[in-house]
Amino acid sequence: MVLTLRSIKIAGVEKYILSTSILPFVLLGLEMLAAKFDLTPTPTHDSVFWISSLLVMIGIIQITASKHRHAAKTKRLAATANTPATQSTT
């Protein structure tokens, strides 16, 4: 648990969440690889699996993109507020 929290702190929360959104597809690949070696039965996923996995991944990407846009907008507004032309000299 401590190592997990430390790795989240080092990598950043956004990168960690983005990487976990890909996890269902990675696990599906591992299942298919195990099925090739007859270790597990061949995975059969219906459309609900694909739709829900894609929706979760798209949602996480949208949230991350929105946070980046908001941070850039805030940074841009802070930069224009601190320019010498807009500061009063009273």
What residue segments make up the domains of the chain, in order of their start?
Answer: 2-70
- Collapsing DSSP to helix, strand or coil, 80 comes out as helix
- pLDDT, one tens digit per residue, over 36-87 is 999 988 888 788 888 988 888 888 888 888 888 888 888 888 888 777 655 5
CB 49 within 8 A of CB 88: no
CB 17 within 8 A of CB 64: yes
Return phi, psi of residue 10, to 5°.
-70, -45
DSSP code at position 86: T
pTM comes to 0.57
